[in-house]
Chain A
């Protein structure tokens, strides 16, 4: 260990995921001496592009950019640092096994047996959703309101929320909003629509990345949240995959003066006399700082990096109790050529393809995961990004699919055989819609929730570092004592998706954490 001022920082950021990079950029911009320590050999966390096979790359975890915080994007000037969109606001095609697909855009629906009156219902439903999202949207932008310490900012936010609800929405819509906010997506959709394909596709959006089925309570809010943050629900595909987003963030952070070290795995976050004193890397190198912002998972931070003895017991218990059940697998396929999805023109294949025929199908797929089994007939979201982004494949194409549902704790464990079996199930499932898919496969890779945990440090394989449900949102996220980014240990902050506003590539948590650090907030 060398002890010179090179090893002393104003803030050390543990983990170079998108939020860690954003946090670093804001802090560096404010003149702080910041270092980001990333254990992998590239930054990005869950927003990375990795090689799938020779000449083919794919976004290995998140694959759509739909929630990036607008302010973050602007403040960090991400476009100047190389962020380009290969496609914006892609539409959704809800696949029908008979070829009568349903086409969904932001404000129109066609095909799939939609009647005119139902299309109208879809339009007015989506406009209501956007109105609700606008009401809530600002909450996903700011730190959670601190109801125990209502300072000026908190009072303004609380008034703003009240004002928006009562006068923005108006009395009738506000009462409708309050009726709906705790509902499950199944009840909401059954109130609004008849068309099973439409309900299936919309319910899929509510359960995507969660451990819920359409009948599970509270997931209307999860659905709404997709629209409330960042991009108002529009799905963009960044050129170069999701890794390009974090690469731009890293460039921005470096431009502001932050230091980024890859291959630097933090072994421990150190505590001296009940306050943060720095970190020790796994190799033994020690870096000193009175402030550490952890972009790692909350449980990893508390249990593995700091150690429970430095926290009070009720807090530790609450951290134990954070639900982080992943139920989503990721499938990557290197393709020789485009598969033939029955009834979908090649020119339409760049859109998002969804397999979620009916709500009951989604629920049936979910049933298995509750008991540690994979869905025998899984639901999925398929993207072929190489159609809009030639940088991803020198020849052929890459397919990236998000699969609902696969349990984290599979009965009998995720053995090689179990993985191979589930991969077959997934490919069979795609083959129901694209019968020639097997002929096109060069190589396929399946990431189970267990793999996602190992590769991206997402405990439980949960994308959001803590399930995004009402009891784990806002001032309850990740636990009340840490909802304003400062943990109850002097100098320790969290800046990742485990904090408000949560998972998805938003960057808001990183920015809010940076602001909390700059303000010197304590838990």
Chain B
């Protein structure tokens, strides 16, 4: 099931996604970075424009570099149910689920989405490489698994008018897709897979195709959406959107447990605010079950907090305190000025029992003004909900523009 290996791969340390040439046509500033082995845009034209394409129109973000795996076989369900803390018996064919997975100590290795494409077949989409994790999980299971990262080109199509554009493209009944639905649609060159999912906290879809369908797909979307101001976007705009939506990122908000060397540097699902993903009573063993059962009983070490930060200085890398000049109780892991919520926000972690919804914590913010460093104390309030969580994210059918 593994993909064909390009024998010349060693000649370059950089890979180009099937959308590279198309994105390059929209590139004004030449700001690219490395994601897995691929080069992807940081900004194509202007971060603000790109951000507002997500919130007000339609944005295209190339997610081909996401690590993608296909898991297939008579015991695929048992395999997934042991790998993931969610109850996978509840994930029906044609549905997608957001999930984390843990090591035996109940520490999160990564988060991602799992797609049930058939009775005995799943796709797993992750931020980090997972082949070694799948390998050890497959011992004793009748499943095949393989990395398909390079075999599937994928676009994240996010924004309030995306449904309309897909309808224009001829995706029949796409407006009836509910949040986390998964469907296949006809497209020249074979079916494409569409899921109503994303990383922006907004209406949006992810589209999965064969590599040779990538450019025709791109063109079809632009053709169908020519009146809707579609904009390809870079990573910076997406970063603002995901922080605004309160979504965590591996490598920023948590360190994958299999990369953490120092004790206490990995985090459990409870500590990431994802306790709702853990079904301790699902009746079968899953990785981290024993440790998480203990943690549930004895309490967690940290609490994930979404903060509304006073003032206009982002709390980049700030320490968190119980009061001004008080005791250090945590740190900020991600920040943004949230343009739609019009809030200065931060994601971070505080020691238990601090950080209950409505609590105040204080951030010591360092910022530069014309290269000179300044310091400021900012009161932060722990928010219950993400700064951005519009009804249209889940509304079915979505608005018709």
Contacts and interface: CB of A to CB of B under 8 A. Distances in A.
Interface in A108-164: none
Contact of B287 (A303, A312, A523): A312
A316 B140 contact: yes
Interface in B254-302: 283-290
Contacts of A488: 104, 290
A317 B104 CA distance: 11
Contact of B141 (A308, A315, A320, A489): A308
B252 interface: no
Most buried by B among A309, A313, A320, A489: A313
B289 A303 contact: no
A309 B83 contact: no
A177 B133 CA distance: 41
Interface string B74-111: 01001000110000000000000000000110000000
B139 A317 contact: yes
B176 interface: no
Contacts of B287: 312-314
A312 B82 CA distance: 7
B227 to A, nearest CB: 50
Contacts of A311: 285
Contacts of A481: 104
B290 A316 contact: no
Given A308-B139, A320-B139, A488-B290, A313 B83 contact: yes
A315 B104 CA distance: 7
A173 B136 CA distance: 44
Contacts of B30: none
Q: Which of B103, B137, B288 has the most CB of A within 10 A?
A: B137
A310 B284 CA distance: 7
B285 A309 contact: yes
Nearest to A273: B283
Contacts of B290: 312, 488, 523
Contacts of A489: 285
Interface in A300-346: 303, 307-317, 320
B78 A309 contact: yes
A2 B75 CA distance: 30
Contacts of A313: 82-83, 103-104, 133, 136-137, 139, 287
Nearest to B257: A314
Contacts of B137: 313
Interface in B281-326: 283-290
A147 to B, nearest CB: 13
Given A273-B283, A274-B284, A314 B103 contact: yes
Q: Chain B interface residue count: which class?
A: 20 to 34
Interface in A258-278: 273-274
A119 B286 CA distance: 60
A196 to B, nearest CB: 46
Contacts of A308: 139-141
A197 to B, nearest CB: 47
A84 to B, nearest CB: 45
B350 to A, nearest CB: 27
B289 A312 contact: yes
Task: Tell me which of A308, A315, A320, A481 has the highest count of chain B C-beta atoms within 10 A of its own C-beta.
Answer: A308
A303 B104 contact: no
Contacts of A303: 140
A311 B139 CA distance: 11
A63 B83 CA distance: 46
Contacts of B286: 312
Interface in A482-523: 488-489, 523
A320 B137 CA distance: 12
A265 B140 CA distance: 21
Contacts of A273: 283
Contacts of B104: 312-315, 481, 488
Contacts of B288: 312
Most chain B CB neighbours (cut-off 10 Å) among A307, A312, A314, A320: A312
B93 to A, nearest CB: 22
A357 to B, nearest CB: 44
Given A309-B78, A314-B104, A274 B140 contact: no
A314 B286 CA distance: 11
A307 B285 contact: no
Nearest to A314: B104
Contacts of A274: 283-285, 289
A489 B289 CA distance: 11
Contact of B136 (A309, A310, A314, A523): A314
Contacts of B283: 273-274
Interface in B121-167: 133, 136-137, 139-141
A311 to B, nearest CB: 6
A311 B284 CA distance: 10
A316 B140 CA distance: 9
Contacts of A312: 82, 104, 285-290
B377 to A, nearest CB: 40
Given A315-B104, A488-B290, A310 B139 contact: no
A309 B82 CA distance: 7
A280 to B, nearest CB: 18
Given A309-B82, A309-B141, A312-B104, A317 B136 contact: yes
A315 B288 CA distance: 11
B103 to A, nearest CB: 6
B285 A310 contact: yes
A63 to B, nearest CB: 36
A307 B289 CA distance: 17
A439 B287 CA distance: 62
A308 B139 CA distance: 7
Contacts of B284: 274, 309
Nearest to B103: A314
A488 B288 CA distance: 11
Nearest to A317: B136
A309 B140 CA distance: 7
Contacts of A316: 136, 139-140
A97 to B, nearest CB: 49
A308 B285 CA distance: 10
A163 B285 CA distance: 42
A303 to B, nearest CB: 6
Of A274, A311, A320, A481, the most chain B CB neighbours within 10 A belong to A274
Contacts of B141: 308-309
Nearest to B290: A488
A181 to B, nearest CB: 27
A315 B83 CA distance: 13
A320 B138 CA distance: 12
A307 B136 contact: no
Nearest to B283: A273
Contacts of B139: 308, 313, 316-317, 320
Interface centre among B78, B285, B288, by most chain A C-beta atoms within 10 angstroms, is: B285
B297 to A, nearest CB: 13
26 contacts: A273-B283, A274-B283, A274-B284, A308-B139, A308-B141, A309-B82, A309-B141, A309-B284, A312-B104, A312-B285, A312-B286, A312-B287, A312-B288, A312-B289, A312-B290, A313-B103, A313-B104, A313-B133, A313-B136, A313-B137, A313-B287, A315-B104, A316-B136, A317-B139, A488-B290, A523-B290
Interface of B: 75, 78, 82-83, 103-104, 133, 136-137, 139-141, 283-290
Given A308-B141, A309-B78, A489-B285, 10 more contacts: A303-B140, A307-B140, A308-B139, A309-B75, A312-B104, A312-B290, A313-B136, A313-B139, A314-B136, A481-B104
Q: Which 3 A-B pairs have the closest CB atoms?
A: A308-B140, A314-B104, A317-B136
